Chain A
């Protein structure tokens, strides 16, 4: 049986901000504990957003507001498509489109820090996009379908045949979750170099929209992690949830251990890792005729 259907998509639409916001707070709490600090409340993200909503909005231009809304809409669109069980390629392209809106938003501000952040964000996208597309291809080779619904109905979990893709996806999640590298990151840490990255020229309610979009995005990303585990057995659902949680913990650990990664290292290591983990896994699948034809 599959859970990927419209009711789940509607559930995502309503619940993702709460789940995403809670895990964002949990993330900060666990990070703080790893650093030997008490850390903020797990509901801190909600406090932050509710405060931002009450602040005055100082817009640089009106286009920016429109583009931020575009970012939110397309991130939500991506997630809804995913949880409705639609085509994985379309989902990843929608995610990229959302990313482009986010970048355009900053470049429209025409400010030095935003411009720098735009360059680095584009660099980041170049670093992680190959792995994202490879993941979609990998799912196709293994299950014979791009549809999330059918992938989740496979006889055995996709991860059995695509461990390399799984590791590669975890690797790019570090970038997607805005954890590392520190000189692009727009996370809630003191270790950022480019002021606030793409958010430098946002304030008040518009900034709150960006935060909420990130929550939606994060829930979707962990959904993809879950998709590696899901199969047509019911027990795969709790296993998928446990794996998601372990990956969540692992990402925080990586963030805290590699706090000083710069974008050059990120760029090189991501491509090398993509080739080692993703491409080799794909070659093995094709050469040995594993997976569904």
Chain B
């Protein structure tokens, strides 16, 4: 590190270099430089044409002027209400069904409860469900079953194990094995072990997770409509297509209100349960 050997010269080195995680200072600068260049290049690729920028300014101006004030006329309120009820209903149904299919997947993805091959299958299902965005699932579901809330429900149901089964499996892995062993010792079947040795330990946490997932599903249910899968998102997309930006803003404000309300409700409910 130092340039001079203190033993030999009797003095101390007059330079010091900070140790880096890279092999040397030069490698470090090279890496940083490469990252900088990459970012600059990508930013350059994105540049809008001057015409677009000017057009964009106009569009932004007209967007902002039409947006305010938000359209909360009784007619608009009625449409928002209908869309919102559909979204919330979707979130509830999807949570119920999603949790039902997540529970077996959670058991499969709990290392301590099942044989290895089953565990890997469980983990893979969780990973796939987690990796695909609700909107990707929704767009595919719309193709399969047509436009409407059924597609939305299916999308949310498929997205649920990625969160619920994953966290549930972690709960299952944390259980006190002694209680499960006790049931085993009494000659209980594997199902009995789950019902009497495992379930009582995880049910309070499970209810918390159900409420949490429902909170997430509310958020998702307000946007899946953008690909035609029902709920307020459909109303929102239509308002954009018809340039009714004041109505769009009203819808977005309503969505924010519902999402926040759901967040508060779920936080309160989870605290009550645990």
Q: Do A and B come from one complex?
A: no
